[in-house]
Homo-oligomer: A and B are copies of this chain.
Amino acid sequence: MTEPLGRRERKKAQTRQALADAALRLFLERGYDQVGVKDVADAADVSVTTLFKHFPSKEALVFDQEDDIEAALVAAVRDRPAGQTILDALRQHVLPAGGRPRDPEMATFVELVENTPALRDYAHRMWMRHEAALARVIAEEIGAPEDDLTCAALARFALEIRNLTRGHPDPRRAGDALFTLLDRGWSALHPNT
């Protein structure tokens, strides 16, 4: 489906990839704040303006493929198995799997993001940006008005659980406890949802 690309689009994707690769390499070598966008552009052999045509900001250089996350989140709630509550669906989708794969490349990437305030904040904002969509699908599922505040609160709290458990020795167990906390309050307001 993505095969028939013209030369132009192929070169565009190539340039984009070169920028992302150069950025990640330089950031890991020297640290995010010690690398300017000029350095990244030079390493990819393009001008700074071209860099910003491909990425909306310096932070976005390290978050390359952040596309279908919102759709997957909404689908996890809307298409949950029959009989499963909304909170259990969120619990399974938001919390990471128990044993970590320990991909070494991913590990250094996560370390870079965690140790760089600008990147940590950016990742947080990107993740919380899905709150509105999540709140909307929750309201639909329980038949509440679209702007129901408890749905917005549940969406925000559930998303924040991932941020809270990040860096914890056992994120799965910790997240479970927090989802249980939310579940007790939520099921009192909206039983069997």
Contacts and interface: CB of A to CB of B under 8 A. Distances in A.
A153 B181 contact: yes
A27 interface: no
B149 A174 contact: yes
Nearest to A182: B185
Copies in the complex: 2
Contacts of A193: none
Interface stretch (A33-41, A44-52, A100-108, A160-168): A160-168
Contacts of A183: 185
A173 to B, nearest CB: 10
A161 B156 CA distance: 10
Given A157-B160, A164-B156, A181 B174 contact: no
Place the interface of chain A in its size category. 20 to 34
A181 B182 CA distance: 7
Interface in A174-193: 174, 177-178, 180-186, 188-189
Contacts of A182: 181, 185
A152 interface: yes
Given A183-B185, A184-B188, A188-B184, A177 B149 contact: yes
Contacts of A157: 157, 160
A118 to B, nearest CB: 13
A191 B64 CA distance: 46
Given A149-B168, A150-B177, A181-B182, 11 more contacts: A149-B177, A152-B164, A153-B160, A153-B161, A153-B181, A157-B157, A160-B160, A181-B185, A181-B186, A181-B188, A181-B189
